[in-house]
């Protein structure tokens, strides 16, 4: 099974989701989105495949999110493209779907 994980190696939830994929024998593409940020268009497409709005995928606890409390989706998406730390993690994608793997055990829904 092919899987793509939008991964932050410093995040314990992301590492746990990656471990579940590895244990399941998935052929994994790891995208370290902080090192290789998604374009606004690619991020919008990823969120659409996950049936998420930008607000659904926003890490509200990040400092950069403070100005986005009343922002519309377009502004949040712009901010996420400019500051990828704002993207909730990990996002996992397989042929069975796309989701935010929080808690990491949600990855099993895609296996």
What residues are annotated to the active site? 11
In the chain the domains, ranked by start, together with CATH numbers, are: 1-33+89-111 (3.40.30.10), 38-87 (no CATH)
pLDDT of residue 25: 97
Strand 97-100 and strand 27-31: the pairing is unpaired
- 50-92 pLDDT per residue, tens: 999 999 999 999 998 999 999 999 999 999 999 999 999 999 9
pLDDT at 40: 97
The pTM for the full model equals 0.93
| Confidence bin at 11 (pLDDT 50/70/90) | very high
Q: At what angle do helices 73-82 and 40-49 cross, to 10 degrees?
A: 120
The tens digit of pLDDT for each residue in 13-49 reads 999 999 999 999 999 999 999 999 999 999 999 999 9
């Amino acid at each position: 099974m092919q899987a793509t994980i939008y991964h932050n190696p410093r995040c314990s939830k992301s590492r746990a989701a990656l471990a579940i994929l590895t244990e399941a024998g998935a052929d994994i593409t790891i995208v370290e989105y902080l090192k290789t940020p998604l374009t606004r268009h690619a991020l919008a497409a990823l969120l659409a495949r996950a049936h998420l709005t930008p607000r659904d995928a926003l890490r509200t606890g990040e400092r950069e999110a403070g100005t986005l409390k009343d922002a519309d989706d377009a502004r949040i998406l712009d901010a996420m493209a400019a500051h990828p730390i704002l993207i909730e993690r990990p996002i996992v994608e397989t042929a069975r779907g796309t989701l935010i793997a929080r808690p990491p055990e949600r990855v099993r829904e895609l296996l």
